[in-house]
Amino acid sequence: MKNRICEKKELELYFHIPFCIRKCYYCDFLSAPGDDETKRHYMKALLAETAGSASRYAEYCITSIFIGGGTPSVVPTEYMEELLEAVRSRYRLAEEAEITMEVNPGTVRREALLRLRKAGVNRLSIGLQSAHNEELAVIGRIHTWEQFEESFAAAREAGFDNINVDLMSGLPGQTLFFYTDSLRKVLSLSRPPEHISAYSLIVEEGTPFYKKWKGGELDIPDEDTDRLMYQETKTILAREGYRRYEISNYAKEGYECRHNCGYWKRKNYIGFGIGAASLLENVRFRNSLQLNGYLANPLGCREEIQPLSTQEQMEEFFFLGLRMTEGIDCREFEKLFGCRAEEVYGDVIRKNIRDGLLRYHGQAEQVEGRTSEDRMQGDGLDSNKGEITDGDKDSGELLYGDRSRREENEKAVRERKNRDRNGADCALYLALTDRGLDVSNYVMAQFLL
Ligand code: SF4
């Protein structure tokens, strides 16, 4: 069932394919090598879960699908075709739905890509990580830069015009020059990708890298170099016309990953497959991590069902929403929670605005019949009383001297209060500034109530 205009509630689907050819040394994702028989059983169970769950989501329209892993491209293409056919026939799939599949270089050929394109996959995410074969070997990747070039060219030939490439910085032995060279090599492909995800290596517990790091044997770049890599990513990609729309994600205009934006905006999504997480009408849950349990009963493996309190929803709204450079939608907050964000987080917001880490933007022309200008003229000091308070205490601006100085100071404070109030009342978004994005974890942690 296809639907061009989605009059129903929106829902995103995620499919987890937990197979890889071998484990990369830094990876803590739920993935492992699997033989043909295990893959066959797993895909059968995934199909059963997908088809058997359809009636639960009859009131929703599927706006995006993400097939991730693991390495979905190590599974025979016919299973993907069957899976997408099951979604098409049992769910209401929006005509313009974004359908992404993750692939790794060296695991896809032109023929398979043509079939995937035909089956409806319209976006590919290719895990490259580095354009240097020595670095790829050091982190345990299975492919070379040359294999990436082949896969990328094959994807273009197969008609994929929306491709993401994953890159990593902070790899063992990596220098700033080698990192930026990787970036440049990707950008000098004959038709560069529409989207680039640039993550910094995180040494996760339980990985081979963690053991090495603990033993002092992992030669990763120091903090300063890591920061330079991060800064260079922003500079180089901006110069090439990529807009940074999330902390680590850059896209050409109109090529932002709609599925991931859905996560950050807390849209409903359902995950299928082992360990897959879901958020449905403010309840978070997850499938079992046990492969055998899942294979035996794919429709009965939900665990960790957690209805979110209003406070938890508000926290998520902020710490997920602030990941995007656009920031959180102030009106959406008000619509969802029945109060203004400033009423809940006023102190934190004002503090971070003063520190230059947050900013309001997207000023509305008119709010509740009053323009910004009306407010500036109409709101006196008294009417603001109690709304903008700690700014006064901390500002240190009231230095009483002679009468004219005092009046001048009072006027400045009044104007700033009006400015702040106007920002809070009329702005469409509250977002991290450039500086705030650099220390996003620090700012976002402050929104945990
Ligand atoms: S290919 Fe991806 S999922 Fe698989 S082991 Fe490597 S990083 Fe992990």
User: What tens digit of pLDDT does each residue of 154-180 get?
Assistant: 999 999 999 999 999 999 999 999 999
Neighbours of 170 (CB within 10 A): 20
Yes or no: say if 52 and 3 are a contact pair by the CB < 8 Å rule. Answer: no
pTM: 0.86
Yes or no: say if 281 and 256 are a contact pair by the CB < 8 Å rule. Answer: no
- Tell which phi-psi region holds residue 432, choosing left (phi > 0), alpha (psi between -120 and 50) or beta: beta
Band of pLDDT at residue 58, cut at 50, 70 and 90 = very high
pLDDT at 414: 60
Q: What value does the mean pLDDT of the chain take?
A: 89
Query: According to CATH, where is 3.30.750.200 located in the chain?
Result: 2-269
Residue 21 CB–ligand 1 contact under 6 Å? no
pLDDT at 392: 37
Yes or no: say if 18 and 69 are a contact pair by the CB < 8 Å rule. Answer: yes
Instruction: Kindly report the CATH class assigned to 2-269.
Output: alpha beta
Nearest to 102 by CA among 191, 14, 201: 14
| Atom number in ligand 1 closest to CA 141 | 6
pLDDT at 304: 83
Q: Whose CA is nearest to atom 8 of ligand 1?
A: 27
Q: How far is the CA of 235 from the centre of ligand 1 (A)?
A: 28
Among 16, 17, 22, 23, say which to mutate for ligand 1: greatest number of ligand atoms within 8 Å of CB: 23
Percent of the chain with pLDDT over 70: 86
Residue 193 CB–ligand 1 contact under 6 Å? no
Burial class (CB within 10 angstroms; exposed 0-12, middle 13-18, buried 19+) of 2:
exposed
Q: How far is the CA of 323 from the centre of ligand 1 (A)?
A: 24
Please write down the long-range contacts of 29-33, taking CB distance under 8 Å and 24 or more positions apart: 29/69, 29/70, 30/70, 30/274, 30/275, 30/289, 31/69, 31/70, 31/71
Residue 167 CB–ligand 1 contact under 6 Å? no
User: What tens digit of pLDDT does each residue of 242-273 get?
Assistant: 999 999 999 999 999 999 999 999 999 999 99
For residue 206, give every residue at least 6 positions away whose Cβ sits within 8 Å of its Cβ, in sequence order, or none: 28
Yes or no: say if 219 and 139 are a contact pair by the CB < 8 Å rule. Answer: no
In single-letter form, the type of residue at position 181 comes to D
Band of pLDDT at residue 370, cut at 50, 70 and 90 = very low
User: What tens digit of pLDDT does each residue of 330-368 get?
Assistant: 999 999 999 999 999 999 999 999 999 999 998 765 444
pLDDT at 227: 94
| Rounded Cα–Cα distance for residues 191 and 187 (Å) | 8
pLDDT at 391: 37
pLDDT at 413: 63
DSSP symbol at 324: B
Residue 69 CB–ligand 1 contact under 6 Å? yes
pLDDT at 419: 54
pLDDT at 320: 97
Band of pLDDT at residue 182, cut at 50, 70 and 90 = very high
| C-alpha distances out from residue 151 to 21, 158, 237, 404, Å | 16, 10, 22, 72
Band of pLDDT at residue 215, cut at 50, 70 and 90 = very high
User: What tens digit of pLDDT does each residue of 267-307 get?
Assistant: 999 999 999 999 999 999 999 999 999 999 999 999 989 99
Band of pLDDT at residue 8, cut at 50, 70 and 90 = confident
Average pLDDT over residues 176-194: 97
Q: Is 114 a residue whose pLDDT tops 70?
A: yes
